[in-house]
Amino acid sequence: MKATKARATPESSLVDADTHVESFRQTRHNRRTELVEDYVELIADLIADRGEARQVDIAQRLGVAQPTVAKMLKRLSAEGLIQQRPYRGVFLTEVGTSLAEKSRERHQIVENFLCALGISPVTARVDAEGIEHHVSLETLNAFKAFLQKR
């Protein structure tokens, strides 16, 4: 039997199946990478502010238990994003630093865009924290272009 794509019609809100699948695939991918990006970005902030990132500080800033942080740090280490030094804390590798910088840049673009729309700085910062991980490169570039025209 030949597969047909469901087309959106005035009576239906369904998009074609391939588009639907791709949107959910992208969302699942973004959810998986969101925590990693949040951790490396926070670790970079702590290192910039204090010279190192300690597990206890990460747990406090993220509002999670230290065992949760320990589990994630093992994952980040296995992925080559961090190095842990006994009695010293957590440090980013070059790859981790690069990821933190990209995440920070995306966050700043989204936050600036929301502020340009009239959103309060506090709300824009909070909202950008979620949006930054789910915005496509195309949308991010549109935000940048909008901001440059102002």
**Tokens 């670790």, located at residue:** 43
Query: Which tokens sit at 93?
Result: 């590798």
68 in Cβ contact with 60 (< 8 Å) = no
Q: Two tokens at 74? A: 């093992």
Q: Residue written as tokens 């502020």?
A: 115
CA angle 93, 95, 100 (to 5 degrees): 90
What are 53's strand-pairing partners? 90
Q: Residue 117 above 50 pLDDT?
A: yes
pTM of the predicted protein model: 0.77
> Where do the structural domains in the chain lie, given as residue ranges?
17-149
Q: What is the pLDDT of residues 50-78, one digit of tens each?
A: 998 999 999 999 999 999 999 999 999 99
Which residues sit opposite 91 in a β-bridge?
Answer: 83
CATH architecture for the domain at 17-149: Orthogonal Bundle (1.10)
Name the pairing type of β-strands 89-92 and 82-85: antiparallel
Tell me how far apart the 2 most distant CA atoms of the chain are, in Å.
Answer: 64
Give 18-59 pLDDT, tens digit per residue.
Answer: 766 666 666 665 566 888 999 999 999 999 999 989 999 999
Reported in sequence order, the residue ranges of the chain that DSSP labels E, i.e. its strands, are 82-85, 89-92
